[in-house]
Structure formats: C-alpha cells, structure tokens
C-alpha cells in the first residue's frame, strides 16, 4: 500500500487518534437534550401553577361577590366568607304585590340595610318574617325551631288581634260590644236601657262600617259584632282621627311589652265631622284613603314648617290649646298593658305546643280614638300592621324607624356579625353576665337571704335564681341595652323615688302571677341601682 493511501486509512481507522471528536459530539447532544427536557418540565410546571392560581382566584372571587368588598378585605377567615344571616320573608299568598318593591318593601329594605340576605323556606334562616299568621300553613317548620331562630309572631297572637274577641273583653276603655247572633238578646236588653247610644256593626275584615239604628242592624249576620259608637270624638280642624301605637311583645311568662317611642301613626277622616251625617262614612270612618297629618292645617305648621315628628306635632298642638298630652299617652299605654295581661294565659297555652317560647316576638299596632274629654278608647289591635308608604310617601320614615328599633329590641341585629350568627347573645359574658343581673344588695347581703331562698325578697339573690329564670333576666337586660326608642309598657315604668320606697311588704306586685312578680321586682331593683332602668 502506498504511503499516502496508508496515511489516509490511518486517519479513519485509528481509535487512539479519532475517538475524542466522537465523544465530544455525544456530550453536546446529551447536554442539549437535557436542557430541552428541563425546559419542557419547567414550562409544564408553570402552566400547571398558572392554571391552579386561576381556579383559586375564580373560587375566591365567586365567594367575595356575595359580601361587600370592604367586609371581604377585613373578614375573619375562620368564618365562612358568605356570613350574612338569612331572613325568610313570607308575604300574603293573596297578594302578588309583596316583594322588594311591594307592600313589604320597607321590611326588605331594613333587613338588607342591617346586613341580612334574603332567603327562602329551605334556607338556613335566622329570622322568619311572615305577613300572615304562620302557625297553620307553616306549622311543621315552626314546631322544632333552633334556639337562635326568630319568628315575628307568637302562637295565639290572634287572641289579642281578633277584633270580635278584643271588642268583648269587658275593659272600660273598649266600647261595649255584643257578638252576633249569639248575644242578640243581651244586646237588645242593653240597647233598650241606652236609647241615645249609636251603634256600628263590624266584622274581622273591618270593612263597610256604618252607624245604624237598632232596627237597621242585621242580627242574622254570622261572624259580626255590634259595638257602641264613640259619639263625642276629639276633633282637630273639625276632623275625627285615630292614633296608632306600634307595640312589641318580646316575652310571655314572664311578660315583657314595649312601645316604639318617638312617633306614632295619625289618620284623619277626609271630611269634617260637622254638620254630622251618618250616611256619609268619610265623616266618621277612618279608612285606607284617610287624610294624613301634614294636610291638617293646625298640625302642618309643626310637622312641615318646624320638622317635628307626627307625635311631637300632635303634642305641641295639644299644649297650644291647653291640654296635657302626657296624661293622654299614659292612658293609652295603660290600656295596652291591660290587654296583654288579660290575654297572657291564652298566649302561654298556645305556646306550649312549641319547643321554646323564646323563639317568637310580635309587633302589633293598637288604634285609639280620643273623645273631647281626653278619654281614650281602643278600637282594634292590628297583627302585621300596614307598613307600605306607597299611598303616603312621608310615612316611610315612620315605618323604617319602627322596624329599626324593633329589630334592635328583639336582638335581630345581633345576628349581623359573622361571629355571632348562631350564638345566643345571653351566653356571651361580654354582653351580659350574672353580675349584670344581680339586684337588691341590701336584701341579699343580709342574714335573711344568706342561706334561705323561701322568702320572696330573696328569690332574685345569687343561688336562688333558677337557671331558666336567669336566662329571662339576661334577655330582659339585653332588651334594655339595645332598645333604641322602645320603652317599657310592662313591667310598668316608675321613678327612682318609687323604686327606693318599695319594700317586699308592698302589695303593688300582688295582682301579678309568679314570673311577672319576679320580673317586675327585678326592674324595681335595677331602677334602685340606676335611674336609667326606671323607664
């Protein structure tokens, strides 16, 4: 083989001389492949992380849109993001106009303003607001309520609001009435002795009322009652009127009743009373198309020009004609107190079918007529009173004032905090403790009560209060703390000098039953310690 050919052959065949380039090439290939694989893996990891972040963001955003942005930023993540309590609002099935823009719009509006979301029957609701009496249609839902659930009616509240039942209650501030046809004979005997008396025939629907002579009355009309007509009403600018007081029942056994202070509803007849003509109902019947207070000249100057409330405008007018409004209001509050005391047994009996009497509250509007001697007469008590301002927009302020103070009083606003959504307020010592409810240190510190709970004056001392009644006292304490413009009707208010003069030998409590006596005595004890508890 020639030298040149041999040399060329050696260049291609010698491992010693030609292995290095091959190994260098292989290492480069491996490095490039490894870099590519790492790059692909990092890219896939980044794609996965971005996808996971997007899903988490979407879930978080969906939760946040259910609560206000400001609440979301500061929310405690130990509680659900959607922590708004739920209200189940149930309008009348007879009306389609019961939604957020209908006759319940102020109820919807106030619940939403205080932080509630609107739910339905199957929701995990904390409050049920029913326009109609709910214990027939929704009896199964209300049989076993959870401790924290509230319903805006008491079982048996019809004993207070049924017009025929109330009219025949035999109280001196209720015009005498007779159920027809059952008490026709009694009526005729009474009418024969009171020939100058005028009469009206009514039903629970309270429609079509007319003054009639005895011979014009229909004694065969079942479900009606005949009632004496107050023929000497107090007139303002020649018009008859009535006064509606919004009242709240928070407890039975022991009984606690409040009125929403600061304002009331005033309704005037569209036509002047004189010259009187019983064939023209607009002269003496106050219906849906009543004349509002601000259209009565003598009251307009107080309400429109000076910006007073309805009640303060009325009070200012009475003072201007030399009459005392304080005595008038006290008569109406006393009448409300007597009605609830009379009907309490019926309410207690009706509530026995339910798990607890503490799940319920009731708002009633008591309507009064005043005569020209400032005597008051109770005409009716309205369950689920009208709260629609569609006909009279200035009434919106009154209705929302009533609702705000009602919800505060009964503890509904307690639920608007996520931390207390289902926690009973009386169980939180930061809100009320056993020390807050102790009264009568002068009695309880003495030898008589140190080891003796049998004496009445010792019943409220530490160690003598039962666990169940301690809850009632804590609830009463919380109601007083958050009552807003609400004021007590029962137990009755007092002044501090009266409370300080009270002794266990006093007979002022004797007319009340056991739990009411204790609750009244407790308020006396609180009044002795702090004048703010007297009213």
Give the integer Cα–Cα distance in Å for 406 and 412: 9
pLDDT of residue 10: 42
Give the integer Cα–Cα distance in Å for 443 and 522: 13
pLDDT of residue 93: 77
The b-or-e profile of 231-259 (16+ CB within 10 A means b, else e) is eebbbbeebbbbbbbbbbbbbbbbbbbbb
pLDDT of residue 418: 60
pLDDT of residue 261: 95
Measured CA to CA in angstroms, residue 340 lies from 348, 368, 403 at distances of 11, 16, 21
The torsion angles phi and psi of 400, rounded to 5 degrees, stand at -75, -30
What single string gives the DSSP state of each residue in 238-298? TB-EEEEEEEEEEETTTTEEEEETT--EEEE-SS-S-S--TT-GGGT---TTPEEGGGSHH
Q: What is the pTM of this model?
A: 0.84
Which among 359, 425, 407, 161 has a CA at the least distance from the CA of 260? 407
Residue 456: alpha-carbon gap to chain centroid: 34
Give the integer Cα–Cα distance in Å for 404 and 422: 21
Measured CA to CA in angstroms, residue 64 lies from 161, 257, 418 at distances of 44, 41, 15
Residue corresponding to tokens 């509006």: 109
The size of the chain, in residues, is 535
Measured CA to CA in angstroms, residue 509 lies from 150, 325, 497, 503 at distances of 31, 28, 17, 11
pLDDT by 10s per residue, the chain, length 535: 444 444 433 443 444 444 455 455 666 666 666 677 776 676 666 665 555 545 544 443 443 334 333 333 333 333 344 578 999 999 887 777 888 889 999 999 999 999 999 999 999 999 999 999 999 999 999 998 999 999 999 999 999 999 999 999 999 999 999 999 999 999 999 999 999 999 999 987 766 799 999 999 999 989 899 999 999 999 999 999 999 999 999 999 999 999 999 999 999 999 999 999 999 999 999 999 999 999 999 999 999 999 999 999 999 999 999 999 999 999 999 999 999 999 999 999 999 999 999 999 999 999 999 999 999 999 999 999 999 999 999 999 999 999 999 999 999 998 876 656 678 999 999 999 999 999 999 999 888 888 889 999 999 999 999 999 999 999 999 999 999 999 999 999 999 999 999 999 999 999 999 999 999 999 999 999 999 999 9
């Amino acid at each position: 083989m020639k030298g040149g050919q041999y040399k060329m052959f050696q260049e291609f065949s010698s491992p010693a001389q030609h292995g290095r380039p091959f190994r260098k090439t292989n290492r480069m290939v491996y490095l490039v492949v490894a870099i590519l694989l790492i790059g692909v893996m990092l890219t896939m990891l980044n794609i996965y992380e971005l996808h996971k972040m997007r899903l988490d963001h979407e879930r978080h955003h969906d939760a946040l849109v259910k609560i206000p942005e400001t609440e979301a930023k500061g929310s405690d993540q130990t509680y659900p993001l959607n922590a708004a309590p739920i209200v189940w609002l149930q309008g009348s099935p007879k009306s389609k106009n019961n939604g957020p823009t209908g006759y319940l719009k102020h109820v919807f509006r106030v619940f939403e303003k205080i932080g509630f979301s609107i739910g339905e029957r199957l929701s995990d609701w904390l409050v049920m607001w029913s326009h109609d009496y709910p214990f027939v249609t929704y009896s199964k839902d209300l049989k076993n309520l959870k401790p924290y659930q509230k319903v805006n009616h008491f079982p048996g509240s019809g004993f207070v609001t049924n017009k025929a039942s109330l009219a025949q209650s035999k109280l001196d501030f209720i015009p005498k009435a007779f159920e027809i046809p059952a008490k026709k004979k009694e009526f005729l005997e009474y009418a024969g002795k009171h020939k100058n008396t005028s009469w009206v025939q009514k039903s629970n629907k309270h429609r079509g009322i007319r003054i009639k002579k005895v011979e014009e009355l229909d004694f065969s009309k079942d479900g009606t009652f005949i009632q004496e007509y107050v023929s000497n009403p107090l007139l303002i600018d020649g018009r008859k009127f009535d006064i509606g007081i919004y009242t709240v029942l928070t407890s039975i056994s022991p009984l606690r009743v409040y009125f929403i202070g600061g304002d009331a509803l005033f309704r005037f007849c569209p036509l002047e009373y004189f010259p009187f003509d019983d064939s023209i109902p607009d002269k003496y019947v106050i219906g849906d198309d009543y004349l509002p207070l601000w259209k009565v000249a003598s009251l307009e100057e107080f309400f429109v020009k000076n910006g007073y409330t309805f009640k303060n405008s009325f009070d200012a007018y009475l003072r201007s004609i030399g009459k005392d409004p304080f005595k008038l209001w006290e008569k109406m509050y006393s009448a409300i107190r007597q009605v609830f005391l009379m009907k309490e047994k019926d309410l207690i009996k009706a509530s026995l079918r339910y798990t607890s009497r503490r799940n319920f509250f009731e708002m009633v509007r008591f309507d009064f007529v005043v005569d020209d001697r400032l005597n008051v007469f109770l005409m009716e008590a309205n369950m689920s009173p009208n709260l629609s301002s569609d006909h009279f927009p200035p009434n919106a302020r009154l209705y929302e004032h009533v609702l705000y103070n009602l919800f505060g009083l009964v503890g509904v606003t307690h639920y608007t905090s996520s931390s207390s959504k289902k926690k009973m307020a009386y169980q939180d010592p930061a809100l009320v403790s056993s020390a807050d409810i102790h009264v009568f240190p002068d009695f309880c510190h003495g030898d008589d009560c140190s080891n003796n709970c049998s004496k009445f004056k010792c019943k409220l001392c530490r160690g003598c209060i039962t666990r169940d009644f301690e809850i009632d006292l804590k609830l009463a304490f919380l109601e007083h703390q958050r009552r807003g413009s609400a004021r007590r009707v029962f137990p009755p208010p007092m002044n501090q000098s009266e409370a300080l003069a009270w002794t266990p030998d006093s007979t002022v409590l004797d007319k009340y039953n056991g739990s009411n006596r204790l609750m009244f005595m407790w308020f006396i004890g609180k009044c002795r310690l702090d004048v703010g508890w007297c009213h």
